[in-house]
């Protein structure tokens, strides 16, 4: 089995380009040490530490809709929901490894399960995709 270094995602709202087109599907690659170090030299990050995530995401998101070159300006213009989603996605694939997932609980039956952030599929306890729980 090959080592997975790129992960597909779907933004909750999507990036709206200058022509009004919405781009939701994208690809993020695993970060390298260089990806995390070089942004620290960026003047924008030095003057505002919160800008680090913007520069970092512009380096590791390799595709967004029809765009294959992601710029800082594009990340700056994401809706806050999408920025938060990408930050969580980045954390999941780089810090935890494996399939990026969220742990959820069914509001009706209280059954707990994991949902694959990429596909939206439920993840069975054995690690594979499964069907919906008892709720």
pLDDT along the chain (135 residues), means of 10: 85 96 97 94 92 96 96 97 96 75 80 70 55 41
Residue 99: what pLDDT?
61
- Exposed e or buried b for every residue in 81-105, given b needs 16+ CB within 10 A? ebbebbeebbebbbeeeebbbeeee
| Under 8 Å between Cβ of 34 and 95 | no
- The Cα–Cα gap between 50 and 55 comes to 10
| Under 8 Å between Cβ of 101 and 115 | yes
- The Cα–Cα gap between 133 and 135 comes to 6
DSSP designation for 42: S
For the beta carbon of residue 5, count every other beta carbon within 10 angstroms. Answer: 10
For the beta carbon of residue 47, count every other beta carbon within 10 angstroms. Answer: 8
């Amino acid at each position: 089995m090959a080592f997975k270094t790129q992960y597909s995602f779907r933004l909750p709202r999507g990036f709206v380009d200058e022509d009004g087109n919405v781009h939701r599907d994208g690809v993020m690659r695993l970060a390298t040490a260089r990806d995390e170090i070089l942004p620290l030299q960026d003047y924008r990050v030095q003057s505002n530490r919160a800008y680090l995530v913007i520069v970092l995401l512009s380096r590791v998101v390799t595709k967004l809709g029809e765009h294959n070159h992601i710029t800082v300006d594009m990340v700056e213009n994401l809706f806050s929901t999408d920025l938060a989603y990408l930050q969580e996605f980045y954390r999941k694939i780089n810090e935890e490894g494996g399939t990026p997932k969220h742990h959820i609980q069914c509001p009706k039956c209280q059954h707990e399960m994991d949902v694959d952030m990429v596909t939206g599929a439920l993840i069975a306890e054995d690690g594979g995709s499964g069907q919906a729980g008892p709720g």
